Amino acid sequence: MEDPLQNLEEHLGALHATWAGALPQFGLIPGRAGTVMKQMSSSGLVAVTDALAQIRRDTEALLTCAAAEVSQRSGAEFGVDGLAKACGFHNPARLIAASTGTSVTEASRLIRVGVATASRESFSGLLPPAHPHVADALSSGTIGVDAADLITAMLDRVANRADPALAVEVEEILVEHAVNLPLELLARAVKEAEAGLDQDGLEPADELRWQSRSLTFREHRDGMIHLNARLDPLTAAGIKTAIDALVTAALRQQRGVGSTGRGTTDRAAWDSTDGECVVSGAETRGGRSAIDDTRTIPQMQADALADLVTHNLGCSSADTALATTTTVVRMDVEGLIDGVGRATIDGIDQPISAASARLLATDGEFLPLVLGEASVPLDMGRKARLFSREQRLALGERDGGCASCGQNIRYAHAHHIRWWERDGGPTDLDNGVMLCSFCHHMIHRDGWGIAIRAGTVWFTPPPQIDPLQKPRIGGRERFRVKVRALV
């Protein structure tokens, strides 16, 4: 007979062993957990953190089962005799929230996942869960509740329109992604999968999101004005592109890098892979500001919004950072021609319908990047040091943003893998990679290796991070849902 507590008990035993192994052999000062953890080795502390996270996943999996059963016993058909009302609670979510000390929203998530992964009753007996792959991964503690909720909620949304066999295949792939990806990248994979499973629903969803757009203002007691905007991807695309362009220009100015007067999708003056600033006289006019810029990025974004409004009210010429900035819309040739299929907007994870993308493509401020069409040469060899605009668009398609961490594509820049000066590296796609500034610094500081194999980015960790130096996949392939019918 299967013991539901077996995983938890085994992992508790593993935690005891890991905890003991992380402590010094002599001179341990007893005390609370925090006092003891301060005496752990760094590697031991990481191992203990992993063990605790495993137990948390085990406990959450059991909580989802309990939450689903509490919900079942609190159904409307029981009236005042339902479990939640009998215990003095308005609904099962409030009972679970009181028991766990969490919010009603979190309790509702536990119930939702528990119901989605529970075995189903029928006249002939128990049926497998509606989402068996998620249920197995959750019960084994392989994935957490948040990942399970992302996947099951999406599958439930498309259940009436998606091919059932294809949905099961996608579920299995997303569970594999959930094991290896941070939640932010898993969310991107889930959105891509939903767009592929329910292509007929893309255009109605675009319309529904557009109808739900809103912008409200509220003045707080302290005098600050609170703006709350809910924008659909089409409405937000141009706004986000413009603000990102102004913030990127401000960050370059803050770091003392001359502005080229071009937007984030145009040629950059900074080739940080080679560790040098490649500038001409016109490119160094900006330089570092006479007054140190200590603004945070949220403050820069607020200032950028104000600058956009001020410019629109009183100026007739574009800001230099916006003069050639465009929003990139990516779609295939068929989508551009007949409006069927899906498309994406650089900087926004939510896919849109090809029909909506065609509307954007008619605007001069939006650049349609048509995948699969004949284009300009993308390998420049040693003819040019800086990656061209076309090359960076192609690298962005391959890498999906920072190839290492998945950072928004507007905060990632093209870098030579083999340096231009030191290694004689060519300015080719197979020698280029999109990286954010943090990952770029970390890769050079710690000695990571980067290779492009068959159009896929691979990162090789240094021996101090992984003694086996097992390559790790990067770029868009990390979260791509590889199902033939969705490609």
Distance CA 106, CA 189 (A): 23
The number of beta carbons lying within 10 Å of the beta carbon of residue 155 is 23
Band the pLDDT of 262: cuts 50, 70, 90: very low
pLDDT value of position 294: 84
Q: Is the pLDDT score of 281 beyond 50?
A: no
Q: What is the 3-state secondary structure (H, E, C) of the chain?
A: CCCCCHHHHHHHHHHHHHHHHHCCCCCCCCCCHHHHHCCCCHHHHHHHHHHHHHHHHHHHHHHHHHHHHHHHHCCHHHHHHCHHHHCCCCCHHHHHHHHHCCCHHHHHHHHHHHHHCCCEEECCEEECCCCHHHHHHHHCCCCCHHHHHHHHHHHHHHCCCCCHHHHHHHHHHHHHHHHHCCHHHHHHHHHHHHHHHCHHHHHHHHHHHHHCCEEEEEECCCCCEEEEEECCHHHHHHHHHHHHHHHHHHHHHHCCCCCCCCCCCCCCCEEHHHCEECCCHHHHCCCCCCCCCCCCHHHHHHHHHHHHHHHHHHCCCCCCCCCCCCEEEEEEHHHHHHCCCEEEECCEEEEEEHHHHHHHHCCCCEEEEEECCCCCCCCCCCCCCCCCHHHHHHHHHHHCCCCCCCCCHHHCEEEECCCHHHHCCCCCHHHEEEECHHHHHHHHHHCCEEEEECCEEEEECCCCCCCCCCCEECHHHHCCCCCHHHC
- Residues 265, 249 contacting (CB under 8 angstroms): no
pLDDT value of position 109: 97
Band the pLDDT of 212: cuts 50, 70, 90: very high
Q: Is the pLDDT score of 241 beyond 80?
A: yes
Please write the tens of the pLDDT for every residue from 401-435. Answer: 999 998 888 778 899 999 888 888 888 889 999 99
pLDDT value of position 363: 59
The number of beta carbons lying within 10 Å of the beta carbon of residue 466 is 12
pLDDT value of position 330: 82
Q: Is the pLDDT score of 3 beyond 80?
A: yes
Which one-letter amino acid corresponds to residue 397? E
Mean pLDDT confidence for 123-147: 92
Please write the tens of the pLDDT for every residue from 63-114. Answer: 999 999 999 999 999 998 999 999 999 999 999 999 999 999 999 999 999 9
pLDDT value of position 354: 84
Q: Which two tokens stand for residue 131?
A: 């989402």
The per-residue pLDDT of the chain, averaged, comes to 84
The residue that leads in pLDDT, 257 or 444, is: 444
Q: Is the pLDDT score of 273 beyond 90?
A: no
